[in-house]
Amino acid sequence: MADQDYKEYVKQRIETLVPILARSAVGDYSMDVPLDTNHDDFSELFAGVQFMIEAIRDQLAEIDQRNAELRAKIDELEHDRASDEALLGSIGEAVVAVDESGLIVFVNQEMVEMIKIPHEKILGQHFDVFVVEDMAGRPVPRERRALERALSTGDHFSTGDEYYYVVSGERFPVWVTASPIKVGDKITGAISVSRNITKEKEVDRMKSELVYLASHQLRTPASAVKSSLSLLLDGYMGQLQPDQLADLKTAYSENDYELRLIDDILDVARLDSKKLDLNISRVSISALVDKVVDEELPAALERKQSIQLKAPPRLMAEVDSDKIRMVLENLVSNAIKYTPMGGKIRVAVSAKGNEILIKVKDNGIGIAPDELSNMFKRFSRASNAIKINMAGTGLGLYLAKSIVEMHHGMIELSSKLGHGSVFTVRLPKKYKEVDESNG
Amino acid sequence: MAKIVLVVEDYEALQKTFEFALTQEGYEVLVASTCKDAVSISKEHKPDLVVLDMLLPDAGGMEFLRQYELKKHPETKVIVFSNLSSPELFKEAQELGASRYLVKSQFTPKELSGVIAEVLKNK
C-alpha cells in the first residue's frame, strides 16, 4: 500500500474508533467496534477494544444486578424498621431505646407525652434527661437506673413500684422495665418500657385501706365474743357443767381462730399499704429463739414431740424483735402441727459471715415438690396440710417471708414429701435503712 | 377502800363484760363511752386506773391523755386497751404517760384484771 493510501487507511480506522472511545469515556458502552478480517495491527487493536468494552458491559451488568439486590435489601430493612417503629409506636406504653453509651436513639409518642419533652429535643440526649426519684423523693443515681443496669449487666431489669418520674414539678409513680439490646455477645444498647402506675397504686391503697378498716370492724365484735365467753369460762357467772364447759371451750377457740385470721389479714393489709413499720433494736437472737421454743413447748409435748434447741449464747442482730418472734412462732408452730405424734423438731441458730441463720427442721409430713414454690404465696397451703388442719389461714408463711425480706433477709425452704421440711431464715446482723438491691 | 377503775369503751357488749368482771374482782367500776365523759368523770372521781380504748366516737384515746393531762395526775394510771396497735401509737401513748398498751383481742377480762392488779401494785 502506498504511503498516501496507508495514511488514509490509518486515519479512517482511527476515525471509526474515536466516537466509540469518546462515548465509552462518558460511560456509554453501547457501541460495538466493527471487526474485520484484515488481520493487521488495527484488527487486533479493534478486537482488543471490543473485548474490553464487552468485559466492562458484563461488569456493569453485574454491578447493576448487585445494586438491585442491595436496593431490595434496603427496602426490606426500611420496611422492617418502619414496622418496628410502628409496633413500638403503637404499643401503648412509653418506650425509649438508647445506644451503648446511654444516648437516646428512639422514643415513641407515649414517652414524649409522658415526659413532656419534644421528640427532637430528646433524641441524642443521655437518658438522664428524665428525672427519676425514689419513694422518699431522693434522685435515683444513674447506676441504679433501669437502663443503666440493663446496659452494664446485660440482664433484664424491672424497677418495681418505687420509681417516680418528675415532670414539670409533678411526681408520678412508674414501673420501668429495661432490656439490653445485644448483637451476638456485645451489648449495643438498651430499651425500656415505662408505665404510669398512679391508678394501680391508688386502687391498691384503697383496697388495703378497706381491708384495714374492715378488719378493725371485725375485731371489735369478735373481741366482745371472746370477753363474754371467757366470763363464763373463768367462772365469773358461777360453776358450769363439764359438757357446758366443753361446748364453751369450742366456741372460744373457734372465735380465737377467727381473731387470728383477722389479725393475719390485717397484717397482710398493713404490709401491702406499708403500714407495718419495723421497730429495730439490737437483740439476742439466741434469747428470742429460746423464748419462742419455750412458748411452743407445751404444744409439742401434747403431741409427744421433742424439740431440740441449739443456740450459742449472744448471737446478736438488729431486728424488730416482735416481728421476728412472730416469724419464728409461725415456723415452730407449723413444725409442731405438721409433724406426727412423737416426731422430732430441731431448731438451730448459727452465725455465718454477716448473717444469723435460724433453721427449723422437722421430720413431719413434708411438702410435695410441685407445691414448694407456692408455699410463700398468700392463702397458699400444701394439700396434705389442709387434710391435717382445716383451720390454717395460708397467710403465715407469706407474712413470715415478707417480714424477713423487710429486714433484707431471706427465707428458704427445702422439703421431702413424707420425710419433713427445713425452713432457714437468714437475717443480716446489721439492719440497713435503704435496700440497695431494690430500684 | 375499793380501788376505782374507769373503763373507757364505746362498744357496749365489751363495756358490760369488763364492768361485770372487774366489779367481781372487787374494783369500783365507772364507765364512759366518749372522750368527753371520760375526762369529766376522771376529773371528778380521780380514778386509780383508766382502761382506755383508742377509737372513741368523739375523739381518740390520745385526746383523753392530753385533755386529762395525765402527767399532772400521778394518782391515775392508764392502760391503753385497743385493737389499734402500731409502734407509733405505742410510743405516743407512753410519752403521754400511759403505763401499758394492750391489744384488746388478745386479752380476756380475767387477764386484763391481772394486768390491772400488777399496775396498781407498782403504783
What are the structural domain ranges in chain A? 13-84, 92-196, 206-272, 281-428
Instruction: Tell me the HSE value of A69 on the side-chain side, using a 13 A CA sphere.
Output: 6
Residue B14 has pLDDT above 90, yes or no: yes
Which cell numbers in the block locate residue A236?
365469773
Residue A94 has pLDDT above 50, yes or no: yes
Per-residue pLDDT at A428: 94
The answer to whether B23 contacts chain A (CB < 8 Å) is no
Please tell me which of the candidates A223, A233, A234 has its beta carbon nearest to residue B14. Answer: A223
Place A203 in a pLDDT band, splitting at 50, 70 and 90.
confident
Contact state of A279 with B21 under an 8 Å Cβ cutoff = no
Per-residue pLDDT at A390: 57
Alpha-carbon distances of A322 from A27, A310, A327, rounded to whole Å: 91, 21, 9
The label of the residue with cell 409442731 reads A336
Please tell me which of the candidates B24, B88, B108 has its beta carbon nearest to residue A227. Answer: B108
Residue A435 has pLDDT above 60, yes or no: no
CATH of A92-196, picked from 3.30.70.1230, 3.40.50.970, 3.30.450.20, 3.40.50.300, is 3.30.450.20
Q: What is the mean pLDDT of chain A?
A: 87
Which cell numbers in the block locate residue A269?
393489709
B118 to chain A, closest Cα gap in Å: 19
Those residues whose C-beta lies under 8 Å from the C-beta of residue B28, and which sit 6 or more positions away, are B2, B3, B4, B5
Structure-model confidence comparison of residues B30 and A121, the more confident one: B30
Per-residue pLDDT at B71: 82
Strand pairing report for A306-310 and A316-319 = unpaired
DSSP bridge partners of A261: none
Do A358 and A377 form a contact (C-beta atoms < 8 A)?
Answer: no
Per-residue pLDDT at A306: 94
CATH class of A281-428: alpha beta
Contact state of A228 with B11 under an 8 Å Cβ cutoff = no
CA dihedral A59, A63, A69, A71 (to 10 degrees): -170
Mean pLDDT of A235-260: 90
Please tell me which of the candidates A223, A224, A230 has its beta carbon nearest to residue B110. Answer: A230
A52-87 residue pLDDT tens? 999 999 999 999 999 999 999 999 999 988 888 788
Per-residue pLDDT at A437: 40
Per-residue pLDDT at A3: 81
The answer to whether B85 contacts chain A (CB < 8 Å) is no
Do B30 and B5 form a contact (C-beta atoms < 8 A)?
Answer: yes
A146-173 residue pLDDT tens? 899 999 998 888 877 778 888 888 899 9
A380 to chain B, closest Cα gap in Å: 25
Give CA–CA dist A150/A144, Å, rounded: 10
Per-residue pLDDT at A272: 67
Place B72 in a pLDDT band, splitting at 50, 70 and 90.
confident
User: How many domains does chain B contain in total?
Assistant: 1
Do A415 and A372 form a contact (C-beta atoms < 8 A)?
Answer: yes
Give CA–CA dist A245/A248, Å, rounded: 5
A219-231 residue pLDDT tens? 889 999 999 999 9
A407-431 residue pLDDT tens? 999 999 999 999 999 999 999 999 8
Per-residue pLDDT at A150: 92
Do A98 and A151 form a contact (C-beta atoms < 8 A)?
Answer: yes
Give CA–CA dist B20/B1, Å, rounded: 19
- Identify from A216, A219, A223, A226 which residue to disrupt to test chain B contact, counting B C-beta atoms within 10 A and taking the largest count: A223
Which cell numbers in the block locate residue B43?
376529773
The label of the residue with cell 394439700 reads A383
CATH number at B48 reads: 3.40.50.2300
Answer whether A92-196 and A281-428 agree in fold.
no
What's the Rg (C-alpha) of chain B?
A: 13
Domain range enclosing B103: 4-121
* Helices B109-121 and B12-24, axial angle in degrees (round to 10): 60
Contact state of B105 with A231 under an 8 Å Cβ cutoff = no
Number of H helices, E strands in chain B: 5, 5
* DSSP code for A140: P
Please tell me which of the candidates A223, A233, A236 has its beta carbon nearest to residue B83. Answer: A223
Those residues whose C-beta lies under 8 Å from the C-beta of residue A16, and which sit 6 or more positions away, are A33, A34, A46
Residue A196 has pLDDT above 80, yes or no: yes
Mean pLDDT of A200-215: 77
Give CA–CA dist A80/A100, Å, rounded: 22
Q: What is the mean pLDDT of chain B?
A: 91
Q: Which residues of B touch A234 (CB under 8 A)?
A: 21, 108-110
Per-residue pLDDT at A274: 60
- For B102-122, the DSSP string reads EEGGG--HHHHHHHHHHHHHT
B41 to chain A, closest Cα gap in Å: 24
A191 to chain B, closest Cα gap in Å: 43
Per-residue pLDDT at A436: 40
Contact state of A216 with B105 under an 8 Å Cβ cutoff = no
What percent of chain B is predicted at pLDDT more than 90? 72
Do A95 and A110 form a contact (C-beta atoms < 8 A)?
Answer: yes
Give CA–CA dist A432/A212, Å, rounded: 28
Residue A191 has pLDDT above 50, yes or no: yes
Q: Using a cut of 0.80, tell me whether the model's pTM lies above it.
A: no
The label of the residue with cell 376529773 reads B43
The answer to whether B108 contacts chain A (CB < 8 Å) is yes
Span between the terminal Cα atoms of chain B, in Å? 16
- For A196-245, the DSSP string reads E-HHHHHHHHHHHHHHHHHHHHHHHHHHHHHHHHHHHHTTTT----HHHH
**Nearest residue to A96 via CA among A74, A111, A116, A83:** A111
CA torsion sign, A290 to A296 to A298 to A300?
negative
The answer to whether A217 contacts chain B (CB < 8 Å) is no
The answer to whether B57 contacts chain A (CB < 8 Å) is no
Do A411 and A324 form a contact (C-beta atoms < 8 A)?
Answer: no
Which cell numbers in the block locate residue A96?
425509649
Which cell numbers in the block locate residue B46?
380521780
Give me the phi and psi of A182, to 5 degrees please.
Answer: -120, 140
Angle at A330 between CA A327 and CA A332, to 5 degrees: 110
Those residues whose C-beta lies under 8 Å from the C-beta of residue A152, and which sit 6 or more positions away, are A143
Give CA–CA dist A391/A406, Å, rounded: 27
Give CA–CA dist A272/A209, Å, rounded: 10
